[in-house]
Chains A and B, each alone.
Chain A
Amino acid sequence: MVLPLTDIRQLVNGVQRGDKRSIARTISIIENNQPEAQKIISLLYPKTGKAHILGITGPPGAGKSTLIEKLVKELRNRGKTIGVVAVDPTSPFSGGAFLGDRVRMQDLSTDPGVYIRSMATRNHPGGLARATKDAARVLDASGKDVVIVETVGAGQSEVDVVKVAHTIIVVLAPGLGDDIQAIKAGQMEIGDIFVVNKADRENVNKAMSDIEAMLEMATEKKGWKPLVVKTSALTGEGIAELLERIDEHRKYLKTGEIDERRKERIENELVEALTQKITESIMNEMKRKGEWSKLTQKILSRETDPYSAADKLFAKQLKTTRKR
Chain B
Amino acid sequence: MRKKEKERKIRVVIAKPGLDSHDRGAKIVARALRDAGMEVIYTGLRQTPEQIVETALQEDVDVIGLSILSGAHSALFPRIMELLKKKGLDDVLVFAGGIIPQEDIPSLKKMGIKEVFGPGTPTSTLVEFVRENALKRR
User: Which B residue sits closest to A114, measured CB to CB?
Assistant: B58
Of residues 32 to 82 in A, which have CB atoms within 8 Å of B's CB atoms? 32
A268 at the interface (CB under 8 A from B): no
CA distance A109 to B50 in the complex (A): 9
Q: Is the CB–CB distance between A118 and B37 below 8 Å?
A: no
CA distance A303 to B46 in the complex (A): 63
CA distance A104 to B43 in the complex (A): 9
Minimum C-beta distance from B108 to chain A (A): 24
Minimum C-beta distance from A202 to chain B (A): 27
User: Which A residue sits closest to B33, measured CB to CB?
Assistant: A96
B6 at the interface (CB under 8 A from A): yes
Using Cβ atoms and an 8 Å threshold, which residues of chain B touch A28? 11, 60
Using Cβ atoms and an 8 Å threshold, which residues of chain B touch A102? 41-44, 55
CA distance A98 to B59 in the complex (A): 13
Q: Is the CB–CB distance between B31 and A98 below 8 Å?
A: yes
Minimum C-beta distance from B64 to chain A (A): 14
A310 at the interface (CB under 8 A from B): no
CA distance A109 to B38 in the complex (A): 22
Q: Is the CB–CB distance between A99 and B41 below 8 Å?
A: yes
Of residues 1 to 49 in A, which have CB atoms within 8 Å of B's CB atoms? 1, 20-21, 23-25, 27-28, 32
B51 at the interface (CB under 8 A from A): yes
0/1 interface trace, chain B 27-61, chain A, CB 8 Å (1 if under): 00011011111111111101110110011011110
Using Cβ atoms and an 8 Å threshold, which residues of chain A touch B110? none
User: Which B residue sits closest to A83, measured CB to CB?
Assistant: B58
Minimum C-beta distance from A82 to chain B (A): 12
Minimum C-beta distance from A117 to chain B (A): 6
Q: Is the CB–CB distance between A120 and B39 below 8 Å?
A: yes
Q: Is the CB–CB distance between A94 and B36 below 8 Å?
A: yes
B120 at the interface (CB under 8 A from A): no
CA distance A120 to B35 in the complex (A): 14
Given contacts A1-B138, A106-B47, contact A97 B58 (CB under 8 A): no
Q: Pick the contact of B44: A20, A21, A25, A103 (CB < 8 A).
A: A103
Of residues 73 to 99 in B, which have CB atoms within 8 Å of A's CB atoms? 87-88
User: Which B residue sits closest to A26, measured CB to CB?
Assistant: B60
Given contacts A94-B36, A103-B43, contact A109 B60 (CB under 8 A): no
CA distance A122 to B37 in the complex (A): 11
Minimum C-beta distance from B111 to chain A (A): 22
Using Cβ atoms and an 8 Å threshold, which residues of chain A touch B33? 96
For chain A, give the interface size range.
20 to 34
Q: Is the CB–CB distance between A91 and B88 below 8 Å?
A: no
A115 at the interface (CB under 8 A from B): yes
Q: Pick the contact of A94: B37, B47, B55 (CB < 8 A).
A: B37
A186 at the interface (CB under 8 A from B): no
Using Cβ atoms and an 8 Å threshold, which residues of chain B touch A306? none
B103 at the interface (CB under 8 A from A): no
Which one of B8, B36, B41, B88 has the greatest number of beta carbons of chain A within 10 Å? B41
Q: Is the CB–CB distance between B34 and A21 below 8 Å?
A: no
B5 at the interface (CB under 8 A from A): yes
CA distance A27 to B11 in the complex (A): 13
Minimum C-beta distance from A108 to chain B (A): 10
A100 at the interface (CB under 8 A from B): yes
Q: Is the CB–CB distance between A115 and B58 below 8 Å?
A: yes
Which one of A96, A98, A104 has the greatest number of beta carbons of chain B within 10 Å? A96
Interface residues of chain A, those whose CB is within 8 Å of chain B, are 1, 20-21, 23-25, 27-28, 32, 90-91, 94-100, 102-104, 106, 109-110, 115-118, 120, 122
Q: A23-B58, A96-B39 are in contact. List 18 more A-B contacts (CB 8 A).
A: A20-B57, A28-B60, A32-B8, A91-B35, A94-B35, A97-B39, A98-B31, A99-B40, A99-B41, A100-B42, A102-B41, A102-B42, A102-B44, A104-B44, A106-B43, A109-B55, A110-B50, A117-B58
